[in-house]
Amino acid sequence: MDKHRPDRPPVLTWMRYLGIGCALWAVLSLFVDFSGAPVLEPDPDTSFADSEDFRAFVFMLVVAIVTVQAIAWIWLVFLAHRGRNWARVALTVFAAFWLALIGWSIAEPVGPGEQRWTVTDLVQLVLVLATVSTLYTRSANRFFRPRVPSAGQA
């Protein structure tokens, strides 16, 4: 630890737990959301795009993408926990995109006049907001921007 850096505040330990939970919830919520999706019987006259094989391919592709994003998120969480200010900024940008996707998912209509408000989306929203908000508390700001001693104090 840098001798001029203040001790790590406990709020960053909470940030680490929230960040890991956020990434795990993102991956697990895919299975919860897709398990409730209606299963349509494939029609023998349909194209591959309408087939069960295509739906399985898309699901596995989405799982792979979300897993890579979750790994990147956890990596940034650990770097921010260690005091890397650039990781804090990267997490904030990542969270802005994530919140936009969550908002799009929540506002996605599923039928005429219906909105899709799932518990998994709302929990994800709270976890992302809580993770990022812990990065900008007063004690976290002191930790990320330590004072540099003047020439006479070194």
Note the pTM of the prediction, 2 decimals.
Answer: 0.76
Q: How far apart are CA 80 and CA 88, in angstroms?
A: 5
Report which of 59, 73, 63 is spatially closest to residue 21, judged by C-alpha positions: 73
Scan for tokens 């956890």, then name that residue. 74
Q: How far apart are CA 141 and CA 18, in angstroms?
A: 18
pLDDT in tens, the chain (154 residues): 556 667 889 999 999 999 999 999 988 888 776 665 544 445 555 555 566 777 778 788 888 998 999 999 999 999 999 989 999 999 999 999 988 888 777 766 555 555 555 778 888 899 999 999 999 999 999 898 876 665 655 5
Measured over all CA atoms, what is the biggest interatomic distance in the chain, rounded to whole angstroms? 82
Q: How far apart are CA 91 and CA 136, in angstroms?
A: 11
Scan for tokens 């391919």, then name that residue. 57
The two three-digit tokens of residue 82, written as one number: 């260690």
